[in-house]
Structure 1
Amino acid sequence: MAYKQDDAAPFRSVTRQVLFSDPRLGCEWRYFEVAAGGYSTLERHHHVHATMIHRGRGQCLVGEVISDVAVGDLVFIPPMTWHQFRANAGEILGFLCLVNADRDRPQLPRSDELATLRQNKTIAEFIGAEA
Protein backbone atom coordinates (compact mmCIF):
# COMPACT_ATOMS: atom_id res chain seq x y z
CA MET A 1 0.00 0.00 0.00
CA ALA A 2 1.02 3.59 -0.38
CA TYR A 3 2.71 4.85 2.77
CA LYS A 4 1.04 8.30 2.77
CA GLN A 5 -1.71 9.81 0.67
CA ASP A 6 -0.77 13.41 1.47
CA ASP A 7 2.03 15.02 -0.54
CA ALA A 8 2.56 17.48 2.35
CA ALA A 9 4.12 14.71 4.44
CA PRO A 10 7.78 14.35 3.39
CA PHE A 11 9.14 10.81 3.18
CA ARG A 12 11.23 8.71 0.79
CA SER A 13 10.94 5.10 -0.38
CA VAL A 14 8.49 3.69 2.19
CA THR A 15 5.82 1.01 1.73
CA ARG A 16 3.30 -0.32 4.25
CA GLN A 17 1.04 -3.34 4.66
CA VAL A 18 -1.71 -4.06 7.14
CA LEU A 19 -0.96 -7.60 8.31
CA PHE A 20 -3.76 -8.00 10.85
CA SER A 21 -6.79 -5.97 11.86
CA ASP A 22 -9.76 -7.10 13.93
CA PRO A 23 -12.16 -4.62 15.56
CA ARG A 24 -12.64 -7.00 18.50
CA LEU A 25 -8.98 -6.56 19.39
CA GLY A 26 -8.86 -2.81 18.72
CA CYS A 27 -5.40 -2.74 17.14
CA GLU A 28 -3.57 -3.36 13.89
CA TRP A 29 -0.28 -5.05 13.04
CA ARG A 30 1.34 -3.18 10.19
CA TYR A 31 4.60 -3.75 8.33
CA PHE A 32 6.70 -0.96 6.86
CA GLU A 33 9.74 -1.18 4.63
CA VAL A 34 12.07 1.72 4.09
CA ALA A 35 14.47 1.30 1.17
CA ALA A 36 18.16 2.08 1.68
CA GLY A 37 18.49 5.84 1.95
CA GLY A 38 14.77 6.27 2.65
CA TYR A 39 12.96 7.67 5.67
CA SER A 40 9.52 7.82 7.20
CA THR A 41 7.69 11.06 7.89
CA LEU A 42 8.75 13.11 10.89
CA GLU A 43 5.49 13.17 12.85
CA ARG A 44 3.72 12.84 16.18
CA HIS A 45 0.22 11.84 17.30
CA HIS A 46 -1.87 11.22 20.40
CA HIS A 47 -1.77 7.43 20.20
CA VAL A 48 1.16 5.29 21.29
CA HIS A 49 2.69 2.57 19.21
CA ALA A 50 5.28 -0.13 19.49
CA THR A 51 7.63 -0.91 16.65
CA MET A 52 9.82 -3.99 16.29
CA ILE A 53 12.64 -4.06 13.77
CA HIS A 54 12.13 -7.09 11.54
CA ARG A 55 14.71 -6.58 8.79
CA GLY A 56 17.93 -4.66 8.32
CA ARG A 57 19.40 -1.77 10.26
CA GLY A 58 18.96 1.97 10.51
CA GLN A 59 18.22 4.69 13.01
CA CYS A 60 15.20 6.18 14.66
CA LEU A 61 14.45 9.46 16.35
CA VAL A 62 12.07 9.31 19.31
CA GLY A 63 11.72 12.65 21.07
CA GLU A 64 15.25 13.97 21.37
CA VAL A 65 16.97 10.57 21.24
CA ILE A 66 18.46 9.06 18.08
CA SER A 67 19.11 5.32 18.33
CA ASP A 68 20.69 2.74 16.09
CA VAL A 69 18.18 -0.03 15.45
CA ALA A 70 18.55 -3.58 14.14
CA VAL A 71 16.57 -6.82 13.92
CA GLY A 72 14.82 -7.64 17.20
CA ASP A 73 14.92 -4.13 18.66
CA LEU A 74 11.66 -2.82 20.11
CA VAL A 75 10.94 0.90 19.92
CA PHE A 76 8.16 2.41 22.05
CA ILE A 77 6.77 5.74 20.86
CA PRO A 78 4.88 7.68 23.54
CA PRO A 79 2.00 10.01 22.67
CA MET A 80 2.83 13.39 21.12
CA THR A 81 6.48 12.48 20.60
CA TRP A 82 8.28 13.40 17.39
CA HIS A 83 9.58 10.28 15.66
CA GLN A 84 11.12 9.18 12.39
CA PHE A 85 12.80 6.04 11.03
CA ARG A 86 15.69 6.14 8.58
CA ALA A 87 17.29 3.36 6.52
CA ASN A 88 20.66 5.10 6.62
CA ALA A 89 22.82 2.02 7.16
CA GLY A 90 22.94 1.13 3.46
CA GLU A 91 20.21 -1.51 3.58
CA ILE A 92 16.44 -1.93 3.80
CA LEU A 93 14.86 -1.23 7.20
CA GLY A 94 11.70 -3.28 7.80
CA PHE A 95 9.61 -2.95 10.93
CA LEU A 96 6.39 -4.22 12.43
CA CYS A 97 4.20 -1.58 14.02
CA LEU A 98 1.39 -2.17 16.51
CA VAL A 99 -1.14 0.70 16.62
CA ASN A 100 -4.68 1.36 17.76
CA ALA A 101 -7.20 0.55 15.04
CA ASP A 102 -9.03 3.79 15.88
CA ARG A 103 -6.32 6.44 16.02
CA ASP A 104 -5.74 10.11 15.36
CA ARG A 105 -4.05 11.45 12.26
CA PRO A 106 -0.33 12.22 12.40
CA GLN A 107 0.73 15.82 12.97
CA LEU A 108 3.60 17.28 10.96
CA PRO A 109 5.89 19.81 12.60
CA ARG A 110 5.11 23.49 12.06
CA SER A 111 8.02 25.71 11.03
CA ASP A 112 8.55 26.91 14.62
CA GLU A 113 8.58 23.30 15.88
CA LEU A 114 11.13 22.35 13.21
CA ALA A 115 13.26 25.32 14.25
CA THR A 116 13.18 24.10 17.86
CA LEU A 117 14.13 20.55 16.82
CA ARG A 118 16.98 21.90 14.68
CA GLN A 119 18.49 23.73 17.64
CA ASN A 120 19.91 20.33 18.56
CA LYS A 121 22.70 19.84 16.01
CA THR A 122 22.46 16.02 16.11
CA ILE A 123 18.70 16.10 15.44
CA ALA A 124 19.18 18.73 12.71
CA GLU A 125 21.67 16.44 10.94
CA PHE A 126 19.37 13.44 11.37
CA ILE A 127 16.19 15.02 9.96
CA GLY A 128 18.04 16.92 7.24
CA ALA A 129 16.56 19.63 5.08
CA GLU A 130 13.62 17.54 3.81
CA ALA A 131 11.65 17.54 7.10
Structure 2
Amino acid sequence: MTSTSAGPVTHRRQSRPFVWEGGAVLAYKEADGTFRSVTRQVLTGAEHGQGTCLRYFEVGPGGYTTLERHEHTHVVIPIRGRGSALVVDRIVRLALHDVVFVPGWGWHQFRAADDELLGFLCAVRADRDRPVLPGGEDLAALRRDPRVAAFIRV
Protein backbone atom coordinates (compact mmCIF):
# COMPACT_ATOMS: atom_id res chain seq x y z
CA MET A 1 0.00 0.00 0.00
CA THR A 2 1.41 3.36 -0.98
CA SER A 3 0.63 6.66 0.70
CA THR A 4 2.02 10.15 0.79
CA SER A 5 3.31 11.70 3.98
CA ALA A 6 0.58 14.31 3.74
CA GLY A 7 -2.47 12.26 2.93
CA PRO A 8 -4.37 9.06 2.31
CA VAL A 9 -3.37 6.00 0.34
CA THR A 10 -2.66 6.86 -3.30
CA HIS A 11 -2.15 3.35 -4.67
CA ARG A 12 -3.48 -0.08 -3.73
CA ARG A 13 -1.94 -3.18 -5.23
CA GLN A 14 -3.75 -6.46 -5.61
CA SER A 15 -2.24 -8.84 -3.08
CA ARG A 16 -3.91 -11.68 -4.96
CA PRO A 17 -6.53 -11.66 -7.72
CA PHE A 18 -9.50 -9.47 -6.73
CA VAL A 19 -8.12 -8.71 -3.25
CA TRP A 20 -6.46 -5.33 -2.70
CA GLU A 21 -3.95 -4.33 -0.03
CA GLY A 22 -5.16 -2.35 2.94
CA GLY A 23 -8.80 -3.33 2.98
CA ALA A 24 -10.36 -6.29 4.71
CA VAL A 25 -12.64 -8.61 2.77
CA LEU A 26 -15.78 -8.65 4.91
CA ALA A 27 -19.03 -10.56 4.82
CA TYR A 28 -21.62 -8.05 3.66
CA LYS A 29 -24.63 -7.36 5.91
CA GLU A 30 -23.80 -10.54 7.76
CA ALA A 31 -26.55 -10.29 10.37
CA ASP A 32 -29.61 -9.11 8.45
CA GLY A 33 -30.31 -12.16 6.26
CA THR A 34 -31.38 -10.19 3.16
CA PHE A 35 -28.56 -11.48 0.96
CA ARG A 36 -26.72 -14.72 0.31
CA SER A 37 -22.97 -15.32 -0.12
CA VAL A 38 -21.70 -11.73 -0.54
CA THR A 39 -18.40 -10.10 0.48
CA ARG A 40 -17.34 -6.47 0.26
CA GLN A 41 -14.01 -4.69 0.17
CA VAL A 42 -13.82 -0.88 0.41
CA LEU A 43 -11.17 0.39 -2.04
CA THR A 44 -11.57 4.17 -1.69
CA GLY A 45 -13.56 6.37 0.64
CA ALA A 46 -14.26 9.90 1.76
CA GLU A 47 -10.61 10.34 2.77
CA HIS A 48 -9.71 10.84 -0.89
CA GLY A 49 -11.73 14.04 -1.16
CA GLN A 50 -13.81 12.97 -4.15
CA GLY A 51 -17.06 12.55 -2.25
CA THR A 52 -17.31 8.98 -3.52
CA CYS A 53 -16.52 5.44 -2.38
CA LEU A 54 -15.43 2.58 -4.59
CA ARG A 55 -16.16 -0.90 -3.32
CA TYR A 56 -15.62 -4.38 -4.71
CA PHE A 57 -18.39 -6.91 -4.10
CA GLU A 58 -18.19 -10.60 -4.75
CA VAL A 59 -21.32 -12.74 -4.87
CA GLY A 60 -20.77 -16.49 -4.59
CA PRO A 61 -22.32 -18.94 -7.07
CA GLY A 62 -26.11 -18.84 -6.68
CA GLY A 63 -25.82 -15.87 -4.29
CA TYR A 64 -27.53 -12.50 -4.40
CA THR A 65 -27.39 -9.02 -2.94
CA THR A 66 -30.18 -7.39 -0.97
CA LEU A 67 -33.29 -6.28 -2.87
CA GLU A 68 -33.33 -2.60 -1.95
CA ARG A 69 -33.61 1.01 -3.03
CA HIS A 70 -32.40 4.36 -1.69
CA GLU A 71 -31.90 7.96 -2.66
CA HIS A 72 -28.29 7.64 -3.82
CA THR A 73 -27.22 6.27 -7.18
CA HIS A 74 -24.76 3.49 -8.03
CA VAL A 75 -22.44 2.87 -10.93
CA VAL A 76 -21.60 -0.84 -11.16
CA ILE A 77 -19.00 -2.51 -13.39
CA PRO A 78 -18.79 -6.32 -13.42
CA ILE A 79 -15.14 -7.41 -13.55
CA ARG A 80 -15.33 -11.12 -12.70
CA GLY A 81 -17.64 -14.04 -13.42
CA ARG A 82 -21.25 -14.00 -14.58
CA GLY A 83 -24.59 -12.83 -13.32
CA SER A 84 -27.70 -10.73 -13.78
CA ALA A 85 -29.33 -7.76 -12.10
CA LEU A 86 -32.70 -6.24 -11.46
CA VAL A 87 -32.40 -2.52 -12.20
CA VAL A 88 -35.65 -0.69 -11.46
CA ASP A 89 -38.03 -2.98 -13.40
CA ARG A 90 -35.67 -4.67 -15.88
CA ILE A 91 -33.63 -7.84 -15.62
CA VAL A 92 -30.26 -7.35 -17.32
CA ARG A 93 -27.68 -10.02 -18.09
CA LEU A 94 -24.28 -8.73 -17.01
CA ALA A 95 -21.16 -9.03 -19.15
CA LEU A 96 -17.65 -8.19 -17.99
CA HIS A 97 -16.93 -4.47 -18.14
CA ASP A 98 -20.55 -3.43 -18.73
CA VAL A 99 -21.52 -0.22 -16.97
CA VAL A 100 -24.75 -0.41 -15.00
CA PHE A 101 -26.36 2.76 -13.66
CA VAL A 102 -28.80 2.30 -10.78
CA PRO A 103 -30.83 5.51 -10.38
CA GLY A 104 -31.93 6.95 -7.06
CA TRP A 105 -34.95 5.13 -5.61
CA GLY A 106 -34.60 2.36 -8.21
CA TRP A 107 -35.09 -1.18 -6.95
CA HIS A 108 -31.98 -3.28 -7.53
CA GLN A 109 -30.58 -6.71 -6.79
CA PHE A 110 -27.52 -8.48 -8.21
CA ARG A 111 -27.33 -12.26 -8.62
CA ALA A 112 -24.44 -14.52 -9.52
CA ALA A 113 -24.92 -17.38 -11.96
CA ASP A 114 -25.72 -20.67 -10.23
CA ASP A 115 -22.34 -22.12 -11.24
CA GLU A 116 -20.05 -19.06 -11.13
CA LEU A 117 -19.38 -16.11 -8.84
CA LEU A 118 -19.98 -12.49 -9.79
CA GLY A 119 -17.49 -9.76 -8.86
CA PHE A 120 -18.21 -6.08 -9.46
CA LEU A 121 -16.94 -2.62 -8.67
CA CYS A 122 -19.56 -0.28 -7.23
CA ALA A 123 -19.17 3.50 -6.96
CA VAL A 124 -21.46 5.48 -4.64
CA ARG A 125 -21.46 8.80 -2.79
CA ALA A 126 -19.38 8.71 0.38
CA ASP A 127 -22.24 10.35 2.29
CA ARG A 128 -25.28 8.23 1.48
CA ASP A 129 -28.64 7.25 2.89
CA ARG A 130 -29.61 3.87 4.32
CA PRO A 131 -31.30 1.29 2.07
CA VAL A 132 -35.04 0.72 2.11
CA LEU A 133 -36.22 -2.88 1.90
CA PRO A 134 -39.45 -3.76 0.09
CA GLY A 135 -42.66 -4.04 2.06
CA GLY A 136 -45.68 -6.14 1.11
CA GLU A 137 -47.08 -3.60 -1.36
CA ASP A 138 -43.66 -3.10 -2.95
CA LEU A 139 -43.20 -6.84 -3.41
CA ALA A 140 -46.69 -7.20 -4.86
CA ALA A 141 -45.96 -4.42 -7.39
CA LEU A 142 -42.60 -5.94 -8.34
CA ARG A 143 -44.13 -9.41 -8.73
CA ARG A 144 -46.73 -8.20 -11.24
CA ASP A 145 -44.04 -8.67 -13.86
CA PRO A 146 -43.44 -12.46 -14.08
CA ARG A 147 -39.79 -11.99 -15.10
CA VAL A 148 -39.10 -9.83 -12.03
CA ALA A 149 -41.08 -12.21 -9.80
CA ALA A 150 -38.94 -15.13 -10.96
CA PHE A 151 -35.72 -13.17 -10.46
CA ILE A 152 -35.99 -11.51 -7.05
CA ARG A 153 -34.91 -13.15 -3.79
CA VAL A 154 -36.09 -11.87 -0.42
Normalising by the smaller structure, the TM-score range is over 0.9
| Counterpart check, 1:84 vs 2:139 | no
Q: After the TM superposition, which parts of structure 1 deviate over 6 Å for at least 4 consecutive aligned residues?
A: none
Q: Secondary structure in 2 aligned to 1:4? A: coil
| Counterpart check, 1:113 vs 2:138 | yes
- CA-to-aligned-CA distance 1:65-102 (integer Å, 9 cap, x gap): 10100211110000000000000252010000001010
Structure 1 portions without partners, runs of 5+: none
What is the letter of the counterpart of residue 41 of structure 2? Q
- Count of residue pairs the alignment pairs up: 128
Decide whether the 8 Å contact of 1:34 with 1:87 is kept in 2.
yes
Within 2, Cα distance between the matches of 1:124 and 1:88?
17
Aligned to 2:27: 2
Which of 40, 54, 71 is residue 16 of structure 1 equivalent to? Answer: 40
- CA-to-aligned-CA distance 1:37-63 (integer Å, 9 cap, x gap): 000000000001100001011100001
* Structure with bigger gyration radius: 2
| Counterpart check, 1:25 vs 2:57 | no
Per the normalisation by structure 1, the TM-score is 0.93
Within 2, Cα distance between the matches of 1:13 and 1:89?
12
Structure 2 portions without partners, runs of 5+: 1-25
How many percent of aligned residue pairs carry the same amino acid?
54
Within 1, Cα distance between the matches of 2:30 and 2:96?
28
Within 1, Cα distance between the matches of 2:113 and 2:146?
18
Shift of 1:10: 1.2
